[in-house]
Structure 1
Amino acid sequence: MCGIWATFGIKGGLSPTCIKCFSNIVHRGPDAWRIEQDAREQLVVLGFHRLAIVDGLHGMQPMRLHKYPRVTLICNGEIYNYKRLGEQYAFPYETNCDVEAIIHCYKKFGIAETVRQLDGVFAFCLVDGDERKVFIARDPYGVRPLFKLSDETNGVMAICSEAKGLIGLKQKSANGSFLGQFKPGHFEEWSILDDNTVKQVKTEQYFQPGTPPKFVPYVSEIGLNVDVYEKTALLLEAACKKRLMSDRRIGCFLSGGLDSSLVAALVVKLAKEINLPYDIQTFAIGMGDSPDIIAARTVAQYIGSEHHEVIFDEADVREHIDDVIYHLETFDITTIRASLPMYLLSRYIKQKTNTTVLFSGEGADELAQGYIYFRDAPTSTDGHEESVRLLSDIYLYDGLRADRTTSAFSLELRVPFLDIQFTSHYLSIDSLLRQPQEGVEKHLLRKSFANSKLIPDSILWRHKEAFSDGVASIKKSLFTTISEIVTERLPSNETVYTSGVPPITPEAKYYRYIFEKSFPDQYNFTPYYWMPKWVQVTDPSARFIKHYAAKS
């Protein structure tokens, strides 16, 4: 996890305004920083904030290689197949940094094939000085964030890992400029013109959820003579294994639910197999003896992790809710609710431990039909299509939450459930098998580990909690606490928002009010409120769905 920032065609690229914008993402990479203005292309400025995870000595960016001195790369990401690519194509690597593979792939294949060859998560900007081209790309599910500011009328473009690094430029630019998220699974090509402004010449979508990988897969499926359940378990374990690539200490978020428990158990198992020189730390959070705290404690004892519990209360919510909205860059209701505990837990990890790389279970609910409302899907095809939609938009909601709450405290997140080979396999399974079975969500995933003894059966078959119930109690949900706080704080002279999705409840109005303070008129950041499908509810919490049966 790092922070990338670049401007093209902006006069005064190293002005105080630009430097301030660049510094707004220092939390993403506190270990080192560098900002450069191209000696030949005076309106090309590249900046990088580094969190050193792999190759602490040679991994600084902007990256240039002796073999290709006019190609410059800034990238926030991890390329899990960089060693295989190096062996496959005899790349003359100069560093041990995984993202170096991007430059070699680009020079060998061009940009379109490069993004298809990468097994990993990434957001990058590559400048080819000889060809006077700029290329921007983002990983298939948007695990790594990327925003773009563009004003094509004036030949201006800028990119940043977070919107807070561009909003100051947006406010000083022409009225026709646009700031928004760069879409996952896409790349763009821009030309640098004679006057050093830029012009977009191409945009292409290279990936859709379920697309088979174009790269040589981590696990060869040729001759893999196992049933669908064994294959599912095997590929999830492989997704965890490839993500152990780190020179920093690894830990796991552990809510005690199915997804985080499977990932934590697999990481602990794999860490022992490769003899990591430390115990895997697991981290849980809740309000008192919440269901999540109790369940996570059970899992940690079972798998033998070094477990940490963080207890938070209403005072923590009051103190940090506005900070959470600033870091998230959204006003979506369910995203903010779910982010508060994760933000507080990340703060604890940063302050009290030396763990820097964290595994989590994000993506499983979208991929494996884990939300309770999937029971109401009219057909298995409808369920499949909803999974694809949720995965396509995960970068706006759960993916955004997971990245921002961790990056706020200079932590790096790894999400095995969004592995390309694993998601391709899972979405290729008969849609009837992927539906909830006998009132149990993620039945296929659970059955895949039924004989593994990886986690306790009580956790493997634990019911789906509404997140705000899991960290609190059914007696008083977290969202009830939040609602009480924001109702007190909402200004009496209420603003009427005529653009974007309209906030109806006091809670939604407060979130929009705080969001607009830092990101005025950027309502496009939240194109719609996350809500369950096929059910008639006015609140996104699962506790309002008829099937919900969680007990405190």
Structure 2
Amino acid sequence: MCGIWAYIVSQIEKQGVHKSLNESILYENFMRISHRGPDRSKFINLPKQCISLGFHRLSIMDTSTRGDQPFVIERDNRTIYALCNGEIYNHKYLEDYYGIKTTSGSDCEFIPQLYHQIGMEGLWYALTEGEYVSGEFAIIILDINKDTGDYIVNVARDRFGVRPLYYAKYSNGTYCFSSELMGIPNNHSGITIKEINQFDPGWTSYLFKKDGKMYTDVGIPKLLKYVSQSADLDVAKLVVKQQLELACKDRLTSDRKIGFLLSGGLDSSLVCAISAKYLKEMGVEMQTFSIGLEESTDEYYAKLVADHIDSKHTHVKFTNEQFIEAVDDVVYFIATYDITTVRASVGQYLICKWIAENTDIKVLLIGDGSDELFGGYRYFLKAPNEKEYEEEIIKLLTNIHRFDGQRADRGVARNGLEARLPFLDHRLVDTVMAIHPSLRMPKDGVEKWLLRESFRGTGLLPDEVLFRTKEAFSDGVSTVKKSWYQILQEKYEAEVLPKTAEEDFKHYEHCPPHTKEAMHYRDVFEGHYGAVSQYVIPYFWLPNQSWVGNVTDPSARVLDCYSNEEKTED
């Protein structure tokens, strides 16, 4: 997990302005994302092009300075700079296939050379469509013609936005790219932000500077379109099992110590149990971690799994007060006001903070992405038919980078750690989405039925966990008697209500808050990022209301398909 940053000045600005911005504003904003790369930082100015590039490194593959970025190559009359926040787990396959020689053990050093060989479109497809290639990335490549001074800035992001990237376009045509929203300069020096948002996953875009003028290409979207084919259950179970095992195995490659978040739910438990097999073969001790308030529902199941797979497990308990104290900081760190994302991010941030302060672990494997891929949320029990089920899955995968994907990255990266998500491996996603939805839908009141059946009878997990029903992370950290969402609602109803008039709710046109809790998150968010950033979420994450009725709270514990007597999961 690293931080990448770029500031591309339009032809309207003069070099002197760019220099002053570098001294007073640009470097300061670049350093705001330094937590993503605590090992080393590099900031360079290219005055002839009026461009600044920056990189914060968390060294995972080859911890020496040979792996520092940007990578720079000279070819013909071109100078190519490459920034990549990513992990290309089997990069050696690409290096061998294309005959690329590297000088470090970094998994990203080959990128500018491969770009030079096959161009940006070819590079994108090589990283995301190949049968033998696995990885996630956000990339910025600057390609300068040394003879003319013209250049192209190439920008790309992996299909599911596992690695973050934001952009801002200013009133004078200048652009800024940053791994996190907090790294983008606000209105300054007489120019204002015209547009700010996440760079869409699965896109490649270009900025051209030719003959002194700036041009842009809106990008080429890689839409999520799948054709369901196989309705053979035995084949489906086999390929799901094989691809998830491969995704976990690939993500165990690291020159730094690896740990695992284990809530005791199906998803994190599968990732841990599969990885445990490979780590034992490697002679490496597995360390797992869980978090909860007093009497949290996750604690029992996490310890059950840890004993089953023989991991060194740590369960960290926090008080209600510690959770509440972290809320405002978390809204800033994760850069969202989405209700369920904020709630779930508090626990993720706190456990990662504990891991960073008490261990030497730098990489964490986590179970996020499974619910979007396999329809694991409790409201999927209400899916009326295969068509609507499939449409909801594609919607969730398309927007995961704004919700659970965002939480998975920011809560971990804030603490100088790297998150790896086996369930969003593109080969696994393509495999699952090629299975007929009749096999993927809930059966007999059991969500993620196909995933569970794929590991039935293997002994990988206790049946008590393999068939444990879904529990959201933001719910599982608390008790059924009093959920985390109820603790938050009580706090903000009591503290905000006397000070807030009813008309304040009408102040917001986009995603207006409907509770005092939501109002608080929005106020904190805009206090840091301003109203111009409100479109970073398109809507509040909620269960499909056409299935479950007019539900306004994202917690599964408010749904009629949730029972207090049920055992619960991640």
Per the normalisation by structure 2, the TM-score is: 0.90
Show the counterpart of 1:546: 560
Report how far residue 170 of structure 1 moved. 3.9
Partners of 2:226 and 2:413 in 1: how far apart? 28
Alignment of 1:420-439 (within 5 A): 420-439=426-445
Which runs of 5 or more residues in structure 2 are unaligned?
Answer: 128-133
Task: Give the letter for the 1:7 counterpart.
Answer: Y
Partners of 1:302 and 1:549 in 2: how far apart? 27
Partners of 1:272 and 1:67 in 2: how far apart? 45
Report how far residue 194 of structure 1 moved. 4.2
Mean CA deviation greater in 18-27 or 488-497:
488-497
Distance 1:209 1:453, change over 3 A: farther
Deviations 1:144-197 (A, max 9, x none): 00000113x62311100001000x3445563462111000000101112444x6
Show the counterpart of 2:513: 503
Secondary structure in structure 2 of the residue aligned to 1:450: coil
Say whether residues 1:529 and 2:540 are aligned partners: yes
Show the counterpart of 1:387: 393
Say whether residues 1:200 and 2:208 are aligned partners: no
Say whether residues 1:46 and 2:56 are aligned partners: no
Report how far residue 211 of structure 1 moved. 8.4
Task: Give the letter for the 1:200 counterpart.
Answer: T
Show the counterpart of 1:219: none
Show the counterpart of 1:144: 163
Partners of 2:346 and 2:152 in 1: how far apart? 41
* Contact 2:186 2:193 (8 Å CA) reproduced: no
Count of residue pairs brought into register by the alignment:
536
Partners of 1:447 and 1:348 in 2: how far apart? 35
* Contact 2:347 2:474 (8 Å CA) reproduced: no
Say whether residues 1:110 and 2:119 are aligned partners: yes
Secondary structure in structure 1 of the residue aligned to 2:122: helix
Pairing partner for 2:108 from 90, 99, 102: 99
Pairing partner for 2:374 from 368, 377, 383: 368
Show the counterpart of 1:254: 262
Alignment of 1:30-429 (within 5 A): 30-38=38-46, 40-41=48-49, 43-57=50-64, 58-65=66-73, 70-118=79-127, 119-130=134-145, 132-151=151-170, 154-166=172-184, 168-170=185-187, 174-175=191-192, 177-195=194-212, 198-208=214-224, 210=226, 227-276=235-284, 279-429=285-435
Deviations 1:488-509 (A, max 9, x none): 4437155442331110111111
Report how far residue 479 of structure 1 moved. 0.7
Task: Give the letter for the 2:172 counterpart.
Answer: N
Report how far residue 120 of structure 1 moved. 1.1
Alignment of 1:468-487 (within 5 A): 468-487=474-493
Partners of 1:173 and 1:314 in 2: how far apart? 45
Alpha-carbon RMSD across the aligned residues, in angstroms, is: 2.1
* Contact 1:3 1:49 (8 Å CA) reproduced: yes
Task: Give the letter for the 1:431 counterpart.
Answer: P
Partners of 1:412 and 1:384 in 2: how far apart? 31
Task: Give the letter for the 1:511 counterpart.
Answer: Y
Deviations 1:393-417 (A, max 9, x none): 0000000001010011011000000
Secondary structure in structure 1 of the residue aligned to 2:535: helix
Say whether residues 1:512 and 2:522 are aligned partners: yes
Distance 1:210 1:2, change over 3 A: farther
Show the counterpart of 2:34: 26
Per the normalisation by structure 1, the TM-score is: 0.93
Report how far residue 287 of structure 1 moved. 1.1
Task: Give the letter for the 1:150 counterpart.
Answer: K
Distance 1:469 1:103, change over 3 A: same
Q: Share of identical aligned residues, percent?
A: 39
Partners of 2:303 and 2:223 in 1: how far apart? 39
Partners of 1:102 and 1:47 in 2: how far apart? 17
* Contact 2:475 2:555 (8 Å CA) reproduced: no
* Contact 1:156 1:198 (8 Å CA) reproduced: no
Secondary structure in structure 1 of the residue aligned to 2:205: strand
Deviations 1:5-32 (A, max 9, x none): 1100162352211111111101111100
Task: Give the letter for the 1:412 counterpart.
Answer: E
Secondary structure in structure 2 of the residue aligned to 1:134: strand
Secondary structure in structure 1 of the residue aligned to 2:142: strand
Deviations 1:454-506 (A, max 9, x none): 11110000011243431111111001111122234437155442331110111
Partners of 1:102 and 1:198 in 2: how far apart? 25
Partners of 2:238 and 2:473 in 1: how far apart? 29
Deviations 1:108-144 (A, max 9, x none): 1110111111131111100001261110000100000
* Contact 2:332 2:528 (8 Å CA) reproduced: yes
Report how far residue 210 of structure 1 moved. 4.4
Secondary structure in structure 1 of the residue aligned to 2:110: helix
Report how far residue 208 of structure 1 moved. 2.0
Partners of 2:422 and 2:46 in 1: how far apart? 37
Partners of 2:225 and 2:246 in 1: how far apart? 19
* Contact 2:167 2:197 (8 Å CA) reproduced: yes
Secondary structure in structure 2 of the residue aligned to 1:129: strand
Partners of 1:80 and 1:543 in 2: how far apart? 38
Task: Give the letter for the 1:157 counterpart.
Answer: Y
Mean CA deviation greater in 308-317 or 68-77:
68-77
Deviations 1:194-229 (A, max 9, x none): 44x6421341113526489xxxxxxxxxxxx97221
Partners of 1:335 and 1:202 in 2: how far apart? 29
Mean CA deviation greater in 69-78 or 400-409:
69-78
Partners of 1:251 and 1:268 in 2: how far apart? 11
Partners of 1:210 and 1:307 in 2: how far apart? 39
Which runs of 5 or more residues in structure 1 are unaligned?
Answer: 213-224
Pairing partner for 2:449 from 443, 446, 453: 443
* Contact 1:170 1:179 (8 Å CA) reproduced: no
Deviations 1:497-525 (A, max 9, x none): 23311101111111101111101102101
